[in-house]
Structure 1
């Protein structure tokens, strides 16, 4: 294929929201893609976490082979944890743009997690809002950052957060106005990237839909505990208006495309309402699997989280400080941080008594690790099955219902080489439940208000959207594509050999051509290009 390939990611957009938007007549471009090309769903990772999902998209590998299991990662040889960055991903695997760089193919990448520090590849790379630290250099080449800042009156690396349900119409109106202003600026920057920095492959991801649905998802669901009829009537259509912004952008992009170009639109997962949350470390504590130390600092933290934290959290949310502090604390686990705030402010790994703890979590969304060091030799599998059955019996007594749909063995979910950092069990909650981050665990209850209950009223679901349109696209409908399949399919469209290391399939069934794909080994070429770029900032694109 001689044309360009554009991939547009709308983080967290659920298929049902797009379908309703099409039915309303709000999304004519997406309706066009559906009628003229391929449509279906994108199957996310399990659990459907953006960090793990976009890493899977970027590498064409399942999490077991790229090692990014969550936002927070457990070290392979001990209980320590780190916040995921692009350096973890690049040391474990190879993002598709580095493979293509080794082939002399220019790429433009924006906001693919984990994106910081940005890859030094021919074209451009813009980091994401989660892994980029405050005042971090978020572009490569570095001159692009100043260019972006000068293009619009307000550019932020990520969408704004800070709306608190219950604040009233004025607060919500101000939040939505600011949100749309920043996101429209991001779209404008994206247009200028396409016009002024053209590349053979361009991947532009927009995180705003995910953030927006986290913040106001309760207005879409009359059964939600936070639902407010008056606000829903006035602002309940704002998620559709946000999709209109992207629909218009994609319409503009189609007008710029040549006949040989291809377009794919996807979301890494969907969204659904959250009513209740479980802190698994709290449940493990109450069921004698996890124990805490008895030093003064740990005891003070226990008291604080049991009796004070909820009030402090509400104050921080009302002053729009919660998200900034949360990310700063999380990033303090990275190698660049001079002080580990997480160990001081949260129930951290240092607070756990490893001499008696048999099971624990390090991040949210249901991934459990077994402390094999203290399990009787030869009994680990028996212990794991016992823990699994205990977890399945977890009950919300007020509602009189079980909390988990399933508990899976880690190797059945993540098949790959990173076994030492792989979770031993993966818990799948029932709809409307969230398994939250453990660092704010209470020892006196495990069923708690959802993560950021003052704003997070909707959370990720498995299925995202998928559209393919252009010269090589077929006309299949209601297809299912996995996140691993995008990278090998892009290589196939480029008529470039697919790296042997990729797990995904070339989805030739979605294309008009039946041409067979080729495979090759790239690793040496990628390492050579990385070494060159470590000392030379700019090199020619041709080999």
Structure 2
């Protein structure tokens, strides 16, 4: 008796807060069928609930404290400040389960799972995912697989650069949506070719478009779902509907190509919601209750001193808003947020 194949489809940033209304409105019929015939539920993400962290837990079965990938960057563990030394990569992963499958003689195809660059040899094929540098010369295993992928893109260009990723200098929303849509379509096409032409036992693909849409279009999506009829929709809203219809159609094609006996899994690394309206600076709070004190500072000549003082002094903040140019305010605000929110304990 042959062991059934397994197809695991990842929707990065996928949340039932969006998927269920889309299903109810008839926009995602294949997802609706899956929910009706299968078992599903809401799971807790990792702590912290970051993409690289959560997908690394999926890949290894280890919690973040065990696999050590807690953000997108590598930090100097012996420096109190947030000094970035590099970006996380596959060399930090302990032993992804697809290597274990390969050792057991199972053929695997791994597509677009974050933190899989640089590609490591597998018993099958791999296309690396998020955190792959834009101009990487090798992002597949075997290397020659890249020649078969045509217009395939690992991620949208507006957040994908030589360092790994960026979120600044964004184009208009219509341009972003068009590129997200293109990346999703080419990923589906590449996966269909591999499903149909390669021998495999385990196949997984992660779609990142769901995450990108929620990052940049959350308010638009909320308004769209509150207006279930086509009347009064904007061109942008129509484009969002088309995206989810095409994503669902692509999912249906993948399931069909996997065959009637394949086990189908859906998963997400984290959910989504509106942006926070407030921030809690834990270092400021610890200082206020006398559980944290900066040492080795030079008082008013030390940047940390001013970060701490400005972070808790509302009057000083108001004065600086009056005196400092906006660009300087933005730079100082980012510096304060980064230092106080992320480093410390």
Per the TM superposition, whether the score is higher than 0.5 is yes
Residue-by-residue CA offset, 1:295-326 (whole Å, 9 max, x unaligned):
999759x79xx888964899xxxxxxxxxxxx
- 2:342 maps to what in 1? 361
Q: C-alpha separation between the residues in 2 aligned to 1:284 and 1:113?
A: 34
Shift of 1:203: 0.9
Q: Kindly tell me the number of residue pairs found equivalent between the two proteins.
A: 306
* Aligned pairs (5 A) from 1:9-408: 9-74=10-75, 79=80, 82=85, 83-89=87-93, 93-129=94-130, 131-136=131-136, 137-148=138-149, 151-152=150-151, 155-161=152-158, 171-221=172-222, 233-236=234-237, 238-278=239-279, 280=281, 283=284, 287=288, 289=292, 291=294, 311=327, 361-362=342-343, 369=345
Q: Which has the higher strand share?
A: 1
CA contact (8 A) 2:89 2:116 kept: yes
Mark the CA change 1:236 to 1:275 in structure 2 (over 3 Å): closer, same or farther: farther
Q: Which has the higher contact order (CA 8 A, sep 6+)?
A: 1
Mark the CA change 1:221 to 1:259 in structure 2 (over 3 Å): closer, same or farther: closer
Q: C-alpha separation between the residues in 1 aligned to 2:233 and 2:271?
A: 21
Shift of 1:259: 3.3
- 1:5 maps to what in 2? 6
SS at match of 1:158: coil
* TM value normalised by structure 1: 0.49
Structure 1 residues not aligned, in runs of 5+? 223-230, 315-344, 353-358, 363-367, 370-543
Q: C-alpha separation between the residues in 2 aligned to 1:20 and 1:39?
A: 15
CA contact (8 A) 1:12 1:270 kept: yes
Q: C-alpha separation between the residues in 1 aligned to 2:186 and 2:328?
A: 33
CA contact (8 A) 2:195 2:257 kept: no
Taking only aligned residues, the RMSD between alpha carbons, in angstroms, comes to: 4.0
SS at match of 1:2: coil
Residue-by-residue CA offset, 1:438-469 (whole Å, 9 max, x unaligned):
xxxxxxxxxxxxxxxxxxxxxxxxxxxxxxxx
Q: C-alpha separation between the residues in 2 aligned to 1:34 and 1:360?
A: 39
Q: C-alpha separation between the residues in 1 aligned to 2:124 and 2:74?
A: 30
Mark the CA change 1:213 to 1:313 in structure 2 (over 3 Å): closer, same or farther: farther
SS at match of 2:206: strand
* TM value normalised by structure 2: 0.74
Q: Which has the higher helix share?
A: 2
Q: C-alpha separation between the residues in 2 aligned to 1:310 and 1:194?
A: 52
Shift of 1:238: 4.3
Residue-by-residue CA offset, 1:83-140 (whole Å, 9 max, x unaligned):
3221112xxx2111111122121211122221111221121112122x2123222111
CA contact (8 A) 1:53 1:268 kept: yes
SS at match of 2:261: coil
SS at match of 2:13: coil
CA contact (8 A) 1:159 1:207 kept: no
CA contact (8 A) 2:13 2:271 kept: yes
CA contact (8 A) 2:4 2:261 kept: yes
CA contact (8 A) 1:298 1:347 kept: no
